[in-house]
Amino acid sequence: MGILDNLDLFSSLSEQERKSIEIFCQERTLSLWEILFNEWDDAVAMYIVKSGGLQAYTYSWILWNIEQDWFVWEMALFAEPQKRRMASVKSMSDKTTIIVMLYFSLIELEKKHPQIMDKIKNIVLKRNEENKNKWL
């Protein structure tokens, strides 16, 4: 069983496409309140919540909760020039499992499998549009 299995986010991809992506991914488990990154950090990775949950916040505001199957700060990676994080993110459960896709891995994935990277970008854009509509 692959690390991307059971994620609805990638259900539109074939098994072979998911296996190709998995080569460029790492799985990481966070403990309760562990900080994934801080506001103003360089955007060096895209994250996907596999289980548990995260919370995005700034100095004095809780921005939103990030649930299973959601991307975390993916747009910072696809922006030109590469941006910094605009909020901090921490784990909200004892064992939050995330998929990590480092920026250089995404570049390599795009070189080796541009059609798969295009699909990921489309998933990101679709998810962001859905999220915008939730807040309007």
Say what the alpha-carbon torsion angle 39, 43, 46, 49 is, to the nearest 10 degrees.
-10
More confident residue, 131 or 72: 72
Domain ranges of the chain: 12-135
pLDDT at 74: 64
Q: What is the pTM of this model?
A: 0.81
User: For residue 88, is pLDDT > 60?
Assistant: yes
Q: Is the dihedral of CA 11, 17, 18, 21 positive or negative?
A: negative
Report whether 9 contacts 48 (CB < 8 A). yes
Residue 49 in contact with residue 68, Cβ under 8 Å? Answer: yes
| Token reading at 40 | 């103003």
Query: What pLDDT, in 10s, does the model give residues 27-85?
Result: 999 999 999 999 888 888 889 999 999 999 988 899 888 888 888 866 666 666 667 78
Q: State residue 82's pLDDT score.
A: 61
Phi/psi for 125 (5° steps) reads -65, -40
- pLDDT higher than threshold 70 for residue 132: no
- Predicted confidence at residue 80, as pLDDT, reads 62
pLDDT of 100-129, one tens digit each? Answer: 988 888 888 888 888 888 877 887 777 777
Instruction: Give CATH for domain 12-135.
Output: 2.60.120.10
